């Protein structure tokens, strides 16, 4: 996925937020694969999600937060 306002394709906090918030199924699959191979990315996912879960309608972030917590524990 080409991330808005980013000129690189690294898994930065902004890129992860963009993938979770606006990504399609394949984008999520790519993020999942990257996170499973690198715990730093999984920690970044958790950091992004913790900032977004104050919104009760942010279901995508709740899903990824739970996923990251399960894999980091």
In the three-class reduction of DSSP (H, G, I as helix; E, B as strand; rest coil), residue 2 is classed as coil
Number of separate domains in the chain: 1
Torsion of CA 44, 64, 70, 31, to 10 degrees: -60
Q: Is residue 37 part of a domain?
A: yes
Tell whether 6 is covered by a domain: no
| 26 lies in some domain | yes
pLDDT at 6 over 70: no
Q: Quick check: is 24 in a domain?
A: yes
| CA distance linking residue 65 with residue 40, whole number of Å | 14
Alpha carbons 46 and 33: distance in angstroms, whole number = 15
DSSP 6: -
- Identify whether 7 is part of a domain: no
Does 5 reside within a domain?
A: no
The residue range of the domain holding 61 is 13-72
The predicted-structure confidence for 21-73, as pLDDT tens digits, reads as follows 999 999 999 999 999 999 999 999 999 999 999 999 999 999 999 999 999 99
Residue 8 lies in a domain: no
């Amino acid at each position: 996925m080409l991330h808005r306002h980013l000129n690189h394709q690294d898994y930065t906090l902004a890129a992860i937020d963009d993938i979770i918030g606006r990504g399609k199924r394949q984008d999520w699959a790519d993020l999942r694969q990257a996170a499973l191979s690198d715990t730093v990315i999984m920690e970044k996912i958790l950091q992004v999600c913790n900032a977004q879960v104050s919104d009760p309608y942010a279901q995508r972030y709740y899903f990824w937060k739970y996923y990251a917590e399960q894999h980091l524990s």
